[in-house]
Structure 1
């Protein structure tokens, strides 16, 4: 499995011959990230927000698209994979209008979880539904997504083997977020790799000990 970080919360996951894009931004509205402008077999958005998370206009058609907030409890099958969504909220207050989702799926013997715009601790029921992912795509910039004191207990509960930070302050985003260092400081016992590239290839048989990999944005 190859995972590429375009920037902000947008990823390309290449698995079993498929190209899956998660939470694409719209470049003109999100800051100075360049357009994704690539083909996809499937685009999955964690919630409706064309500016930062569900921007389809710059992806090269044709492609299938899914909106996770509309998933039934059992999930949705696409391209031979089952995508499941856990309804959560962007803010701790859990107010109407703050609804987002956690996305997760399995491929190549790997369980991948994308936390999207999660903004609060998870309940025991939500933790049980998510299970223990191998790969965790984590919003690392603090409020309006999950605040820093809540990060260590969430990571401990989920026990991933690989964390890829996203949704944090870079020179290219126009949101008031914190830099990735604030996230790394909350997990001082986790080894950190900076490969100097925008992608990582993951093999279930050679995933190795736990680590955080900080990717460069591809856009």
Structure 2
């Protein structure tokens, strides 16, 4: 499985011959990130936010679209991969209008959880399908998404081996969010792999023995 971070919350995951793009932003309206401008087989969006999370107009067509807010409980299959969603909220108050999702899928023997714009700790019922995920893509810029002080407890509850930060402050995003260093300060005992570039490959045989943060450079 190859994981590539474009910037903000946008990723390309290549697995089982399928190109999956998650939560594409709109350039330049989101700041300085360049357009994704690559092909996909399927684009999966965690919620509807055309500027930061669900813009389809800069991805090379054709591609299938999965809108996680519309998924049934059993999910939707594409290319032999079943995508499921856990309904959550961007705000800790769980206010109407703040509905977002966590996206889950399994491929190559790996369980991947994309936390999207999650803004609160999870109940036992919300945790159940996520617990034991091997790879977690997590917002790392603090409010309005997950409070940085809640990060350790959430990761402890999920139990991943690979943690990939996203949705944090860089010179190329126009949101008032926190830099990656403040996220890493909350995880002082976790090893950090500083990837020289925007992507890395992982499989069951190369999963680390303990929870490890993979820090990527944005590709765009």
Aligned to 1:218: 219
Q: How many residues end up aligned between the 2 structures?
A: 219
Deviations 1:67-96 (A, max 9, x none): 000001111111111001000000011111
| SS of residue matched to 1:112 | strand
1:164 equivalent in alignment to 2:164: yes
Stretches (4+) displaced over 6 A: none
Shift of 1:103: 0.3
Secondary structure of the structure 2 residue equivalent to 1:125: helix
For residues 213 and 5 of structure 2, the distance between their equivalents in structure 1, rounded to whole angstroms, comes to 14
Query: Is this contact kept in 1: 2:19–2:42, CA < 8 A?
Result: yes
The answer to whether 1:173 aligns with 2:151 is no
CA offset at residue 177 of structure 1?
Answer: 0.3
**CA-CA distance at 1:156 after TM superposition:** 0.4
Deviation at 1:131, TM superposition (A): 2.2
Q: Which runs of 5+ in 1 are unaligned?
A: none
Query: Which residue is equivalent to 2:14?
Result: 14
Contact 2:131–2:157 at 8 Å: present in 1 too? no
CA distance in 1, matches of 2:6, 2:121: 27
CA contact under 8 A between 2:137 and 2:165: conserved in structure 1? yes
Q: TM-score, normalised by structure 1?
A: 0.99
What is the CA deviation profile of residues 94-151 of structure 1, one whole-angstrom value per residue up to 9, with x for unaligned ones?
Answer: 1110000000100000000000000000001111122210000000000000001111
Distance 1:206 1:11 in 2: 20
CA distance in 1, matches of 2:77, 2:114: 17
Q: For 2:178 and 2:85, locate their aligned partners in 1 and report how far apart those are by CA, in whole Å.
A: 26
Q: Give the superposition deviation at 1:185.
A: 0.6
Q: How does 1:15-164 map to 2 (within 5 A)?
A: 15-164=15-164
Q: Which consecutive residues of structure 2, in runs of 5 or more, have no partner in the other structure?
A: none
2:182 maps to what in 1?
182
Would you say the 8 A contact 2:3–2:11 is kept in 1? Answer: yes
Alignment partners' CA distance in 2, 1:59 and 1:36: 6
Name the CA distance, whole Å, in 2 between partners of 1:208 and 1:153.
20
